[in-house]
Amino acid sequence: MSLQSSRTPFDAAANRAVSAELKGLTVGQKKAIWAWVFLALPIVFYVVIRFYPTVSAFAISFTDWNILGEKSFVGIENYSRLVQDRVFWKVLINTLLYGVIGLPVSLVLSFVIAYYLDQVRFMHGFIRALYFVPFLTTAAAMGWVWRWFYQPSPVGVFNLILVDFGFSQQPFLRSTTQALPAVLAPAVWAGLGFQVVIFLAGLRAIPSTYYEAAKIDGAGAWRILREITLPLLKPTTVFLVVISTIGFLRIFDQVFNITNQGDGGPLNATKPIVLYIFETAFDSSDMGYATAQTVILFLLLLVITLLQLWYLRKK
Amino acid sequence: MNKLSGILLGSAIALGLGVGAVAPASAQTEITYWQYTFGARVDAIDALIGQFEAANPDIKVNHVNFPYADYRVKVSAAIPAGEGPDVVQLFYGWLDAYREAELLSPLPASLTGDVGDTFFPMVSAMNVDGEFWGLPTAVRSLALFWNTDLFAEAGLSGPPETLDELVEMGKKLTKRDKDGNLLQVGFTVVPTGQDHHWWREVLVRQFGGEPYTDGGRKVNYNSEAGIAALQFYVDMVGEDGISEIGFLTDGQTAFKAGKAAMTIDGSFRLGSFNKQRGLNYSITELPSHDGERFNYSSYWVNGIASKAQGEQRVAAEKFLAFITTNDAMQLWLDTVGELPARPEIALVDANQNHEQFGPFVRGLAYANATHFVDEAAQRQIMVDMVDNVTIKGMSAADAIDIAAEEEQKLLDRFYGS
């Protein structure tokens, strides 16, 4: 006896009741029901793939777990270990530095490029494509090319140029102070194309009537930029600030590929929190400690994003 | 009914539940062997399985391999679930973690009774409280690779025998342009490569120290010998000027490009160097110091998973015994290039005098294996120690103290003291 044939009169009655109920609904209500039916799929997907692991990460962060054995509950031990971990503070500061340096530099650069590119008609599409190419390049390939760029003379191109112009050679990746900006440079460069394209779209969306009116009133270029372009570009800027901040605070692939053996060195000078999480989890198999770090990163991103949204929308 | 049991049986086999439990009528016992994917290792095990199955027609061995990146996680997820391998390959440094998680069961005395006498001494690390938990087919060691063309060009007839000669020859083999920029290094100094093993297990001992005591639980290189060893190491990029850290990004690249005259690496690098056209090189034992030679050895072992019971267990033991015979070890050397784990087969003349394997094989006689608890983290501590001297200008003594403190913390956390 199969399951299909086990239908009872009760089931049939229930079925009739359901269709009767559906019949009683307006078209709008039926549409809403169908919308929810279709939405259920991505919602279930997100719950299983995104939300469940996120919530369980919070739970794992209170355990000691080496992937192999059972998880044992240790309370807030992982968090108190974080507070005392010098490397953790170092990577936290590094992560913030990536954001604090990377964000303004990349936004100013990309805005300036977009602003002037917007006025260029000659080969506009081609130039825009050139700026976009680095964004399409694999981080691994880029990391390795830049790694060779930073080699000492006569191998590395940057040092070769410095020497040619009579400056002294720089250690770049072998210096604890220069390494972080040196790693950040290709990351900024790679993201530039995306930011330029978004800024260009924003600039194009500003109605030209405003500019015409301003010109008739005798406003100069600087005034137009300050009082028309920038304020009207705000939604675009908000979007880019939020997206880029998250991007810089989650930096990983650039550092992993450009530093020796992906160790975020020298002396942790370039190690961001995501790389430290990766090492703790998959080299040291210390899952509890690693998830505690991800919880901190999550809270950090949450707070920064909320603050930015609040601040940039306020005005 | 008949059909149903057929389906059940089929799915039981498919799920790897074991034929023994479901179909006692079947004469064949199936066991599963796991290792990570590496071309030559896969070929070697396939060849050994062929021989084993021919000799034992009642046993079928399934060989499963997957990329190294997923290896540890899959093993640890599969065995507790009653799936996965009966015989499993693992890195010797993982043993403690695997034992704690009860993924392995100890090997019977019938297999391990004479291990202490017949295997190389470092295999004794697999002995915990009188029981052996794994046996290697092959072991690895380090040797000095030297570029014969560059040596001839510098008018040198042979490789260095001692550390002092290494530095002296290194100076002759280093080339700089008129501004003092390095064009070619005499020796590769790469703390992130094999050098951290060389420093720990070779240099520290050669300068009269002992890197660890208490079975690897206590850091002991923070001594006069350790300081002298570190000073020697960093002097190569400082005072002696025969190298530069990060030159052409790493040691292999520099050596393959013919821009480094000497480098220290393992036998597993032979394949990559042999493929490099135009690279003429030879291999010699690690240089001695004050007449003392040491080497570092590491190895992968075969263990029996705790899930293997009954017939599977018997078959697993048979298979493990088979892949650790002398013949299996010779096959592994010829196919993979890793060295036999028993002196009686490793040290036969043909291997000892082999042009490429010879120096590695001879090095095994005086090799030690570090009792790692977290190799990546322990390597990082060594790398930072060298950077503290070479970048921050710290004294060797201070840098060693920091490293010793960090590593002791790591060991204490693992051993829970």
Per the domain annotation, does A170 fall within a domain?
A: yes
Tally of domains within chain A: 2
Q: Are residues A41 and A86 in the same domain?
A: no
Asked if the Cβ–Cβ distance from A66 to B250 is below 8 Å, we say no
Q: Are residues A209 and A269 in the same domain?
A: yes
Q: Are residues A145 and A185 in the same domain?
A: yes
Q: Are residues A102 and A236 in the same domain?
A: yes
Q: What is the pLDDT along chain A (315 residues), one digit of tens a residue?
A: 344 444 455 555 555 555 556 667 888 888 899 999 999 988 999 999 989 988 999 999 999 987 777 888 999 999 999 999 999 999 999 999 999 999 999 999 999 999 999 988 888 889 989 999 989 989 889 999 999 999 998 889 999 999 989 888 899 999 999 999 999 999 999 999 999 999 999 999 999 999 999 989 988 889 999 999 999 999 899 899 989 998 999 899 999 999 988 888 799 999 999 999 998 988 788 889 999 999 999 999 899 889 888 887 765
Asked if the Cβ–Cβ distance from A265 to B374 is below 8 Å, we say no
CA-based radius of gyration for chain A: 27
Q: Does position B332 have pLDDT exceeding 60, yes or no?
A: yes
Asked if the Cβ–Cβ distance from B387 to A268 is below 8 Å, we say no
Per the domain annotation, does A72 fall within a domain?
A: no
Instruction: Pick from A261, A270, A275, A276 the residue to mutate for testing the B interface (most B CBs within 10 Å).
Output: A261
Domains and CATH numbers, chain B: 13-140+298-360 (3.40.190.10), 142-297+369-415 (3.40.190.10)
Q: Are residues A218 and A91 in the same domain?
A: yes
CATH value at residue A264: 1.10.3720.10
Per the domain annotation, does A74 fall within a domain?
A: no
Provide the β-strand partners of residue B212.
Answer: B219
How many angstroms away from the CA of A202 is the closest CA of chain B?
42
Per the domain annotation, does A209 fall within a domain?
A: yes
Q: Are residues A152 and A95 in the same domain?
A: yes
For chain B, the residues whose C-beta falls within 8 A of a C-beta of chain A are: 72-73, 76, 97-98, 100-103, 177, 179, 181-183, 192, 244-250, 374, 376-377, 380, 383-384, 387-388, 391-392
Domain of residue A48 covers 4-60
Q: Are residues A120 and A267 in the same domain?
A: yes
Q: Are residues A41 and A84 in the same domain?
A: no
pTM of the predicted structure, to 2 decimals: 0.83
Please tell me which residue of chain A has the smallest CA distance to B380.
A263
Q: Are residues A85 and A207 in the same domain?
A: yes
Per the domain annotation, does A66 fall within a domain?
A: no
Q: Compare CB distances from B192 to A148, A154, A260 and report the shortest one's residue.
A: A260
Q: Are residues A85 and A132 in the same domain?
A: yes
